[in-house]
Amino acid sequence: MDLFEHQGKEFFARYGMPVSPGEAVFSVDEAVAAAERLGTPVMVKAQIHAGGRGKAGGVKYAADIDAVREHAGNIFGLDIKGHIVERIWIEKASDIAEEYYASFTLDRSAKMHLGMLSKEGGIEIETVAEENPDAIAKTWIDPVDGLTDEACRAWVAAANLPEAAFEGTVEIMKLLYTAYDEGDADLVEINPLILTPEGKMHVLDAKVTLDANSVFRHEDYAQYDATQPRDEREQAAHAKGLQYVGLEGSVGVIANGAGLAMSTVDVVSQAGGNAANFLDIGGGANADVMAGALEVINHDPSVKSIFINIFGGITRGDEVANGIIEAMRRVAIDSPIVIRLDGTNAEEGRVILAPNLDEKLMMEPTMLDAARRAVELAS
């Protein structure tokens, strides 16, 4: 789950990290009112789930209220990498002496947590990694030990920050690790972490991704789930508890298991077509789940044919077949359906489907045959 910057700052503040006061607003009038409460100068910052906001004109300094009105007016509705700006964060402006970069994430290869710190902040860290890799100090953290005081100091020292920044950075890195660890984050990133002219460390940006699997111990994370960017189709599928990702093509895909669903999208492409979606109905494809999946796909106007690809492991083919027939009774499906059914009780499933087969419901013996047929019907 990706957090907006302002949600990330609220998250950081809970762990005692220094962030600026601010307000999230949804209209120009709200922006002006917030700036009046906070007192100018303020920063006017677009809130989207993507980087590159500054370059796209989504982050502006406003010296007075007129500037707030002007910038907010320009930023609302701005299209940044396909994300339309609908919320803005108004924040008290800070004086900056230096800008640094700091993050924690899981290094899947090392199977440990990785901390990265650099005095080259405020610019894209990929650029630093490419042009000046030595400017990034890295520390690998065994989760059993956590980030010890000793390791944290050695790591911050390796980043070669000015002396004025050292103690403050050590303090913030410990808090950031606690937020990462206790908050079950996939990523916490501060860019920039600033040193003010008064010699104080301050968090000026926040990028936080939380682990959706951890919500059982973080009930308040439901608020973040509610603000995830989803198109209409994805929202409908999410409400039904289906694993769905919208794509651009015309063949609707339903499969059991994420790997098989991905593989189904692959074979549709190899057959010369394009999948309209990735949809994993998981194990135990009963009538309710199948009906829900067909409903979601049926609502997608770009779908011209539907490919149901089921491999019965523990899921039984006869139950899947009954599920499809029951689902078609409940939902009027516009596009023709091609089914590939294999594995456990596939033969029984095929017998159940046989009397129902017509030009709207077809069966093919293999995954590749079914992909070819579905693509043919979609073109």
Partner 1 sequence: MSIFVDENTSVIYQGLTGSQGSYYGRLNAEYGTRIVAGTHPKKAGTEVDGVPIYANVGEAVEATGATASCIFIPAPGVRGAVMESAEGGVEFIVAITEGVPAHDEAYFYNDLKRNFPDVRLLGPNCPGIISPGKCNIGITAGHIAKPGGPVGIVSRSGTLTYQALYELKQKDIGVTTCVGIGGDPVPGTSFIDCLEAFEADPDTRAVMMIGEIGGSAEEEAAEFIKNNMTKPVSCYIAGVTAPPGKKMGHAGAIVSGGKGTAAAKMEALADAGAQVGQNPTEAGELMARIVAEL
* Shortest distance, position 270 Cβ to partner 1, whole Å: 6
Handedness of CA 99, 104, 105, 111 (dihedral sign): positive
* DSSP track, 91-126: EE----SEEEEEEEEEETTTTEEEEEEES--SS-HH
Among 15, 101, 177, 221, the active-site one is 101
Of residues 44, 75, 85, 125, which one binds partner 1 by CB under 8 A? 125
DSSP 160: T
144 versus 226: smaller Cβ distance to partner 1: 144
Q: Which of residues 135-154 bind partner 1 (CB under 8 A)?
A: 142-144
The candidate with the shortest Cα–Cα distance to 205, out of 26, 2, 15, 20, is 20
* Residues 44 and 31: beta-carbon distance below 8 Å: yes
11 versus 311: smaller Cβ distance to partner 1: 311
Give the HSE-up count for residue 285: Cα atoms under 13 Å, Cβ half-sphere.
35
Which residue stretch of 37-45, 155-163, 169-177, 179-187 sits at the interface with partner 1 (rule: CB under 8 A)? Answer: 179-187
Of residues 187, 234, 243, 376, which one binds partner 1 by CB under 8 A? 187
21 versus 229: smaller Cβ distance to partner 1: 229
Confirm or reject binding of residue 229 to partner 1 (CB under 8 A).
no
Which residue stretch of 77-85, 109-117, 154-162, 322-330 sits at the interface with partner 1 (rule: CB under 8 A)? Answer: 109-117
Query: How far is it, in rounded angstroms, from Cα 32 to Cα 42?
Result: 10
The reply to whether 101 belongs to the active site is yes
Confirm or reject binding of residue 275 to partner 1 (CB under 8 A).
yes
Which residue stretch of 18-26, 92-100, 275-283, 293-301 sits at the interface with partner 1 (rule: CB under 8 A)? Answer: 275-283
* Shortest distance, position 63 Cβ to partner 1, whole Å: 30
Confirm or reject binding of residue 366 to partner 1 (CB under 8 A).
yes
The reply to whether 91 belongs to the active site is no
Among 5, 98, 99, 189, the active-site one is 189
Query: How far is it, in rounded angstroms, from Cα 189 to Cα 180?
Result: 10
Cα–Cα–Cα angle for 50, 193, 109, rounded to 5 degrees: 65
Query: How far is it, in rounded angstroms, from Cα 358 to Cα 362?
Result: 6
Of residues 82, 220, 314, 355, which one binds partner 1 by CB under 8 A? 314
* Shortest distance, position 41 Cβ to partner 1, whole Å: 28
Query: How far is it, in rounded angstroms, from Cα 360 to Cα 31?
Result: 54
Give the HSE-up count for residue 363: Cα atoms under 13 Å, Cβ half-sphere.
17
Q: Which of residues 76-105 bind partner 1 (CB under 8 A)?
A: 103-105
Confirm or reject binding of residue 375 to partner 1 (CB under 8 A).
no
Query: How far is it, in rounded angstroms, from Cα 215 to Cα 347?
Result: 41
Pattern 44-63, binding to partner 1, x per CB under 8 A? -------x------------
Give the total of residues touching partner 1 (CB under 8 A). 63
Q: Which of residues 243-272 bind partner 1 (CB under 8 A)?
A: 245, 247, 255-260, 262-263, 265-270
The candidate with the shortest Cα–Cα distance to 264, out of 324, 312, 320, 311, is 311
Confirm or reject binding of residue 289 to partner 1 (CB under 8 A).
no
Query: How far is it, in rounded angstroms, from Cα 87 to Cα 228?
Result: 13
Show which residues are catalytic.
101, 189
